[in-house]
Amino acid sequence: DVKVTQSSRYLVKRTGEKVFLECVQDMDHENMFWYRQDPGLGLRLIYFSYDVKMKEKGDIPEGYSVSREKKERFSLILESASTNQTSMYLCASIDGQGRSSYNEQFFGPGTRLTVL
Amino acid sequence: LAKTTQPISMDSYEGQEVNITCSHNNIATNDYITWYQQFPSQGPRFIIQGYKTKVTNEVASLFIPADRKSSTLSLPRVSLSDTAVYYCLGVGGAGSYQLTFGKGTKLSVIP
């Protein structure tokens, strides 16, 4: 059974803290994604990676960075957390060489982050 | 990437067939229509994908007319466990890696 796991389901941090959200997939997928989901706004892409050490900005990268040192792991970093980054964060991965998105995208369970 | 338009919400009674229509007027020639389902506090899950005409799997059917400007997801005999948000996406092929999720349709199944 394919799996995308995220390090925490719930996280509470304070403004200004550095926050790490970890995502691991066991499907040997090349492509990994970080989204945030907010009520009324749907899912918005923050960053994605199509290979180890490769990354590209999505629609809303400001305030975030990412790291992909190993194929199976994709980390989202909030350098200095702010209250407007309170959200549900979803990690996903997709199979396929290059940048094909025809294949099914597998999502993790999400991390609900609250920044106080 | 195709911009999609769906109803914000729908209600249905248990046992009924539910049809959710999605408009995608500017869909590209090589885009596939893909639907995802999301339960509360979970990530989205792939349901079905098609290019044109009709596709059916164990969960749903997808109807895409010849002009491909819209599509309809059909859920047969829904149950309470089908209460979820359903997203319609236009998905491109090689060279297009990004999925653009809209706001989706919140389906509420009533006993």
- Binned at pLDDT 50, 70 and 90, residue B95 comes out as low
pLDDT in tens, B35-74: 999 998 899 999 999 998 899 999 999 999 999 999 999 9
Arithmetic mean of pLDDT, B4-20: 95
Q: What is the pLDDT of residue A94?
A: 86
In sequence order, what are the beta bridge partners of A64?
A78
> Quick one: which H or E segment has residue A115?
strand A111-115
Q: What is the pLDDT of residue A97?
A: 57
The candidate with the shortest Cα–Cα distance to A115, out of A93, A89, A97, is A89
pLDDT at position B16 over 90: yes
Find the closest chain A residue to B46 by CA distance: A104
With an 8 Å Cβ cutoff, is B77 touching chain A? no
B32–chain A nearest CA distance, Å? 7
For chain B, counts of helices (H) and of strands (E)? 0, 9
Triad B97, B98, B103: Cα angle to 5°: 155
B33–chain A nearest CA distance, Å? 10
Find the closest chain B residue to A88 by CA distance: B41
pLDDT at position B1 over 60: no
With an 8 Å Cβ cutoff, is A45 touching chain B? yes
Residues B38, B85: Cα–Cα separation, whole Å: 5
What stretches in chain A show pLDDT beneath 70?
1-2, 96-102
User: Are A42 and B99 in contact (CB < 8 Å)?
Assistant: no
State percent of chain B over pLDDT 90. Answer: 66
User: Are A43 and B44 in contact (CB < 8 Å)?
Assistant: yes
* CA A22 vs CA A5, A89, B5, B78, B102: distances in Å: 8, 10, 33, 36, 25
Structure tokens belonging to residue A4 = 């995308």
The candidate with the shortest Cα–Cα distance to B21, out of B111, B101, B107, is B107
User: Are B46 and A105 in contact (CB < 8 Å)?
Assistant: yes
With an 8 Å Cβ cutoff, is A111 touching chain B? no
pLDDT in tens, A38-65: 988 888 999 999 889 889 998 899 999 9
